[in-house]
């Protein structure tokens, strides 16, 4: 049954790959409005997250940000068609400006290894397309539960330039080796790890279980760290790529200090386009000292 659902999802994405970016984004906005109208899981998770991270906003302002974030979440989903179906040349043509690109180029030229941190902000898929135009990049991915979809997804991502390794022991070892050899490794730094693989550090003033793997890779390999995100432009105009330098404390030997620095840089990116962050993800499920899960407290399934 899972494989059947996987083939259905592949079919939908292939259909979306045949339309313009504007049409795909319009479809995503329609999905976002549907999510906003009812008490969907996505809407309620976004409410909790935005309430925690933006307590200074009024209820009306928070609600407006929730609505905008759902529109962007819908667009991110619908853009899988273009991202995995367009040619490399067509995808590159959707990139309008690259901000601080010298950070990435200089890090590559240093030949000390580059850890490219790509948070779930804007459309992170197009980052691999751009990065692959500058260097060979190996990125880690979490395998999908539907094998048919997983195999197809990996194939499409590799078709636009990325070399993919799974979140397994072998995949982790591959990233360490790539960094030791002076290569480029991509990592999504804002997913909740298992408790034994993370530390609590503040993200937008909320104590957050943060992956410790980047810290381990940095300490062992001595690599440089660069952050990147792709901002979605209005009216289907394309995307702007932004590169951000890491905070100095990113290189600290203290894992909590390093994790705090990592979350600070992610928050700097979020400040650029707050509605484009993945607020529909349950980022704060585990609380320090066994505190109450905020989603369960809010009655979110």
138 three-state secondary structure: strand
Residue 293 covered by a domain: no
First vs last C-alpha separation in the chain: 23
Residue 113 covered by a domain: yes
Give the pLDDT of residue 236: 97
Give the helix ranges, DSSP H, for 212-254.
Answer: 213-221
Q: What is the mean pLDDT of the chain?
A: 93
- Record the tokens describing residue 87, joined without a space: 């040619």
Domain that holds residue 179: 2-288
Condensed to tens digits (0 to 9), the pLDDT of residues 174-227 reads: 999 999 999 999 999 999 999 999 999 999 999 999 999 999 999 999 999 999
Pairing of strands 224-232, 239-245: antiparallel
DSSP structure class, residue 206: E
Give the pLDDT of residue 147: 79
User: In whole angstroms, what is the distance from residue 24 CA to residue 217 CA?
Assistant: 37
Give the pLDDT of residue 58: 98
Is pLDDT above 90 for 102? yes
Tell me if 202 sits within 8 A of 208, measured CB to CB.
Answer: yes
Residue 296 covered by a domain: no
Nearest in space to 85 (alpha carbons), one of 19, 31, 167, 134 = 19
Number of neighbouring beta carbons within 10 Å of residue 118: 23
Condensed to tens digits (0 to 9), the pLDDT of residues 7-30 reads: 777 888 888 889 999 999 999 999
Residue 251 covered by a domain: yes
Residue 257 covered by a domain: yes
Give the pLDDT of residue 166: 83
18 three-state secondary structure: coil
Is pLDDT above 80 for 70? yes
Residue 300 covered by a domain: no
Is pLDDT above 80 for 145? no
Condensed to tens digits (0 to 9), the pLDDT of residues 257-294 reads: 999 999 999 999 999 999 999 999 999 999 998 889 99
Is pLDDT above 70 for 1? no
Which residues does 130 contact at the CB level (< 8 Å), separation at least 6?
Answer: 92, 95, 98, 230, 241
Give the pLDDT of residue 162: 75
Give the pLDDT of residue 17: 85
Residue 297 covered by a domain: no
- The proportion of the chain whose per-residue pLDDT surpasses 70, expressed as a percent, equals 98
Is pLDDT above 80 for 141? no
Q: What is the mean pLDDT of residues 45-73?
A: 98
Q: Identify the residue whose tokens are 């600070």.
A: 264
Q: How many domains does the chain have?
A: 1
Tell me if 208 sits within 8 A of 263, measured CB to CB.
Answer: yes
Angle at 19 between CA 157 and CA 273, to 5 degrees: 65
Pairing of strands 198-203, 206-211: antiparallel
Which residues does 5 contact at the CB level (< 8 Å), separation at least 6?
Answer: 146, 149
Taking each helix axis from N to C end, the angle separating 41-53 and 21-37, rounded to the nearest 10 degrees, works out to 90
Quick one: pLDDT band at residue 3, thresholds 50, 70, 90? low
Quick one: pLDDT band at residue 117, thresholds 50, 70, 90? very high
Residue 255 covered by a domain: yes
Give the pLDDT of residue 2: 59
- The proportion of the chain whose per-residue pLDDT surpasses 90, expressed as a percent, equals 80
Of the candidate ranges 19-23, 39-43, 103-107, 161-165, the one whose mean pLDDT is the lowest: 161-165
């Amino acid at each position: 049954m899972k494989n059947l659902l996987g083939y259905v999802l592949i079919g939908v994405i292939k259909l979306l790959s045949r339309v313009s970016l504007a049409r795909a984004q319009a479809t995503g906005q329609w999905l976002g409005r549907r999510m906003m109208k009812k008490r969907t899981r996505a809407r309620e998770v976004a409410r909790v997250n935005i309430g925690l991270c933006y307590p200074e906003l009024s209820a009306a302002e928070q609600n407006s940000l929730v609505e905008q974030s759902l529109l962007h979440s819908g667009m991110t989903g619908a853009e899988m068609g273009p991202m995995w179906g367009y040619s490399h040349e067509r995808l590159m043509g959707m990139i309008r400006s690259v901000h601080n690109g010298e950070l990435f180029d200089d890090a590559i030229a240093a030949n000390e290894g580059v850890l490219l941190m790509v948070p779930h902000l804007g459309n992170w898929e197009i980052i691999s397309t751009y990065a692959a135009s500058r260097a060979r990049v190996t990125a880690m991915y979490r395998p999908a539960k539907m094998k048919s979809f997983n195999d197809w997804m990996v194939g499409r991502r590799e078709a636009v330039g990325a070399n993919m390794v799974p979140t397994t022991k072998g995949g982790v070892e591959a990233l360490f080796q790539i960094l030791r050899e002076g290569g480029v490794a991509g990592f999504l730094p804002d997913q909740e790890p298992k408790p034994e693989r993370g530390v609590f550090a503040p993200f937008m003033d909320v104590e957050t279980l943060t992956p410790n793997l980047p810290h381990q890779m940095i300490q062992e390999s001595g690599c440089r760290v660069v952050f990147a995100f792709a901002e979605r432009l209005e009216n289907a105009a394309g995307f702007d790529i932004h590169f951000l330098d890491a905070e100095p404390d990113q290189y600290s030997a203290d894992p909590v200090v390093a994790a705090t620095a990592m979350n600070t840089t992610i928050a700097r990116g979020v400040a650029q386009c707050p509605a484009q962050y993945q607020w529909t993800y349950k980022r704060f499920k585990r609380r320090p000292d066994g505190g109450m899960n905020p989603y369960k407290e809010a009655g979110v399934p």
